[in-house]
């Protein structure tokens, strides 16, 4: 039995539908922008195809009436030539030729329309995909990192292809509407009350379809996290990056079982809705069939009594048959569109999200080169949705041209400082200054142009070697000389020379001809990116974690001698690297516990000295 929704549920469902319909013009504008000529061609073809069925029925009526008329008079002769010579076959031959033109023209229009619609759908799908990526790049990190935003992104991603499906549904509906109006004109002239009968009979179908489309959308909304889990387990079970652990730990069955559990929950929900929909749709369809055959019986009786001709009967019977299908198709199509437009809400809700980082009213240029450096003044920060302070009352300075190292256990606030310095997040308290300018006064794009970073979880791009380095300064990605120089500084030049394709070698295993690298080799390319960035502020977040001790020492020495124009913030768990910094901050619970050079901190015999000696003892205790 269909669950009766509450008043609040009805209002919410109505609001979703109205909002969805309001997005249709926006979708149509984006389709037009994707291909104006294709869109114009599609509109003209659909109009001509819509008028073809009524024209075919009317020409068929004329053919039958002409045959009946000619049979009422004696034949001019037994042969076809006798009919042709008498001229009595001319009208019939003419109408048959017109019908042939309608059929042949309709076939040609169908193929032309299919071609134009497929080209526009592909172009539009790609355009939406590009815009989705650009929108994701414009959003704040907090919007991308939250699970709620990930659900929105997942639904928006799915909705990018829905635009093409919705386009086809809209075009079919508009074509059907034109055909229906043309047929109604003929039917109303004979028996207008039959039209009302058909409309009333289709009301149950409309209500049933509207109800279950709403249930289907609600289920899709609720299952968004489950679909992301499904995609995740599929990725773990099939990607090369996880293959080693999956095989080593014999995780294949475990991952498959978890995948099956999630899939079962999704399938069960959909099966429940589909089963109920099939039962109620069958019942409403039976009502529509009764109305159709009732109308058919009426026009058959009128033909028997001589009220209408045999040609009229053929036209009306064909019209009724088509109208029954068109009415039902329109009802189903409108409810499908109403359902699909709700997914447009997901797409455009994501597209309309805006960064919470307010742009400065009067942007100031980034002070390059730095003269004073970076200053944190009483900075406090809490991650969205939490009450715990990640940083509180944090104050320190990073003088221009110096290297500052951050040390502390996980959760001490090191990465949070990096996110605030790059304005991936805004402080809740205090401010961050660059040569006396508040970060919020500097244009965001210009700020990030002057900041380079190497993160421990750096991205391994499935691109060429040259592009893997060049994206560090994408505006100059074609600067081969600069890319080569950056590779030499990071000691990646020898690695690149050993690759079959050198700087044009495709890396990663996603594409044909790609080669995978070791963690340390990938890291050298990431370091090359930082060199190529040539930024005034350089952030090194565990930059050499995958390198051996010798390579780490050599690379960090090169970082230290980048020149006075480079100001460096270093995060590392390796004290052999940290000790080379000009100054070290020891963080605990989002606050500074100790500050000083390596020698000063060792002399204090505090927390830093304790951690350093523990790590040194660990190295000394390792077997030779």
The angle subtended at Cα 140 by Cα 401 and Cα 461, nearest 5°, is 70
pLDDT of residue 2: 38
CA distance 443 to 609: 41
Spell out the domain ranges in the chain.
Answer: 22-74+85-351, 370-450+544-624, 457-534
Q: What is the pLDDT of residues 416-458, one digit of tens each?
A: 898 899 888 889 999 999 999 999 898 888 888 888 888 777 8
If phi > 0 it is left, if psi is from -120 to 50 it is alpha, else beta; for residue 359 that is beta
Q: How deeply is 406 buried, as exposed, middle or buried, from its count of CB atoms within 10 A (0-12, 13-18, 19+)?
A: buried
Q: What is the pTM of this model?
A: 0.62
If phi > 0 it is left, if psi is from -120 to 50 it is alpha, else beta; for residue 306 that is left
Beta bridge partners of 397: 375
Q: Which CA distances in Å does 317 have to 301, 302, 320? A: 12, 12, 5
Cα 554 → chain centroid: 43
- What single DSSP character describes residue 258? H
State the pLDDT confidence band at 387, using cuts at 50, 70 and 90: confident
Q: Kindly tell me if the per-residue pLDDT of 11 is higher than 60.
A: no
Topology of the domain covering 370-450+544-624 = Rossmann fold (3.40.50)
Phi first, then psi, for residue 250 (nearest 5°) are: 55, 55
The angle subtended at Cα 527 by Cα 522 and Cα 531, nearest 5°, is 145
Q: Which CA distances in Å does 294 have to 193, 195, 287, 375? A: 12, 12, 11, 85
Residues ≥6 apart with Cβ < 8 Å to 428 = 380, 381, 382
Q: How deeply is 486 buried, as exposed, middle or buried, from its count of CB atoms within 10 A (0-12, 13-18, 19+)?
A: buried
Please give the share of the chain, as a percent, with pLDDT higher than 70: 81
End-to-end distance of the chain based on CA atoms, in angstroms? 75
Q: Are 391 and 381 in contact (CB under 8 A)?
A: yes
Task: Report the 10 Å Cβ neighbour count for 126.
Answer: 12
pLDDT of residue 1: 38
- 523 vs 213: which has the higher pLDDT: 523
Q: What is the pLDDT of residues 231-271, one digit of tens each?
A: 777 777 766 666 656 665 667 777 788 878 888 888 888 78
pLDDT of residue 368: 80
Q: Kindly tell me if the per-residue pLDDT of 402 is higher than 80.
A: yes
- The residue among 491, 499, 463 whose CA lies nearest residue 550 is 491
Cis peptide before 369 (omega within 30 of 0): yes
pLDDT of residue 186: 67
Phi first, then psi, for residue 437 (nearest 5°) are: -95, 135
Superfamily of domain 22-74+85-351: ABC transporter type 1, transmembrane domain (1.20.1560.10)
Q: Which CA distances in Å does 356 have to 140, 426, 449? A: 7, 9, 20
CA distance 243 to 248: 8
Q: What is the pLDDT of residues 457-496, one digit of tens each?
A: 788 888 899 999 998 888 899 999 999 999 998 888 999 9
Compute, in degrees rounded to 10, the torsion defined by CA atoms 156, 160, 164, 170. 30
State the chain's mean pLDDT as an integer.
Answer: 80
Q: Kindly tell me if the per-residue pLDDT of 584 is higher than 90.
A: yes
State the pLDDT confidence band at 376, using cuts at 50, 70 and 90: very high
Q: Kindly tell me if the per-residue pLDDT of 166 is higher than 80.
A: no
């Amino acid at each position: 039995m269909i669950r009766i929704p509450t008043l609040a549920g009805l209002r919410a469902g109505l609001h979703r539908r109205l909002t969805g319909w309001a997005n249709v013009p926006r979708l149509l504008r984006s389709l037009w922008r994707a291909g104006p000529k294709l869109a114009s061609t599609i509109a003209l073809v659909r109009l001509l195809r819509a008028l073809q069925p009524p024209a075919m029925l009317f020409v068929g009526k004329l053919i039958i009436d002409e045959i009946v008329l000619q049979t009422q008079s004696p034949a001019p002769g037994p042969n076809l030539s006798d009919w042709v010579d008498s001229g009595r076959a001319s009208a019939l031959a003419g109408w048959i030729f017109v019908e042939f033109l309608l059929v042949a023209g309709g076939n040609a229009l169908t193929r032309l329309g299919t071609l134009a619609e497929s080209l526009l759908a592909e172009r539009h799908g790609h355009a939406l995909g590009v815009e989705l990526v650009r929108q994701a790049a414009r959003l704040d990190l907090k919007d991308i990192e939250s699970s709620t935003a990930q659900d929105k992104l997942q639904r928006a991603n799915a909705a990018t292809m829905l635009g093409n499906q919705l386009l086809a549904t809209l075009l079919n509906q508009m074509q059907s509407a034109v055909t229906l109006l043309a047929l109604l004109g003929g039917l109303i002239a004979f028996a207008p009350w039959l039209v009302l009968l058909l409309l009333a009979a289709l009301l149950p179908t409309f209500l049933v379809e509207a109800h279950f489309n709403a249930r289907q959308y609600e289920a899709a909304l609720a299952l968004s996290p489950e679909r992301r889990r499904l995609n995740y387990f599929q990725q773990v079970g099939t990607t090369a990056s996880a293959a080693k652990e999956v095989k080593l730990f014999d995780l294949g069955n475990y991952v498959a079982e978890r995948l099956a559990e999630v899939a079962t929950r999704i399938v069960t929900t959909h099966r429940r809705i589909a089963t109920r929909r099939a039962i109620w749709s069958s019942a409403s369809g039976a009502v529509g069939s009764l109305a159709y055959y009732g109308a058919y019986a009426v026009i058959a009786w009128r033909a028997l009594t001589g009220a209408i001709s045999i040609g009229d009967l053929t036209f009306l019977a064909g019209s009724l048959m088509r109208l029954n299908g068109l009415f039902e198709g329109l009802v189903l199509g409108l409810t499908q569109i109403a359902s699909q437009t709700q997914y447009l809400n997901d797409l455009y809700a994501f597209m309309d999200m805006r960064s919470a980082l307010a742009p400065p009213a009067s942007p100031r240029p980034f002070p390059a080169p730095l003269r004073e450096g970076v200053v944190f003044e009483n900075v406090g920060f809490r991650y969205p949705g939490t009450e715990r302070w990640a940083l509180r009352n944090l104050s320190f300075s990073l003088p221009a041209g110096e290297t500052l190292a951050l040390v502390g256990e996980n959760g001490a606030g090191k990465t949070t400082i990096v996110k605030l310095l790059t304005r991936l997040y805004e402080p809740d308290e205090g401010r961050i200054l660059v040569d006396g300018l508040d970060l919020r006064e500097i244009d965001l794009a210009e700020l990030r142009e002057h900041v380079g970073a190497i993160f421990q979880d750096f991205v391994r791009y499935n691109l060429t070697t040259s592009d893997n380095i060049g994206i560090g300064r994408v505006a100059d990605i074609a600067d081969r000389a600069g890319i080569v120089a950056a590779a030499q500084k990071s000691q990646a030049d020898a690695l690149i020379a050993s690759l079959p394709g050198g700087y044009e070698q495709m890396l990663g295993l996603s594409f044909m001809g790609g080669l995978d690298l070791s963690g340390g080799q990938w890291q050298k390319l990431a370091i090359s990116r930082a060199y190529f960035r040539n930024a005034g502020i350089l952030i090194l977040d565990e930059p050499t974690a995958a390198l051996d001790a010798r390579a780490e020492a050599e690379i960090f020495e090169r970082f230290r001698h980048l020149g006075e124009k480079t100001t460096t913030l270093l995060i590392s768990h390796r004290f052999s690297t940290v000790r080379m910094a000009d100054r070290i901050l020891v963080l605990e619970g989002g606050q500074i516990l100790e500050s000083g050079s390596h020698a000063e901190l060792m002399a204090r015999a505090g927390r830093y000295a304790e951690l350093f000696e523990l790590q040194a003892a660990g190295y000394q205790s390792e077997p030779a």
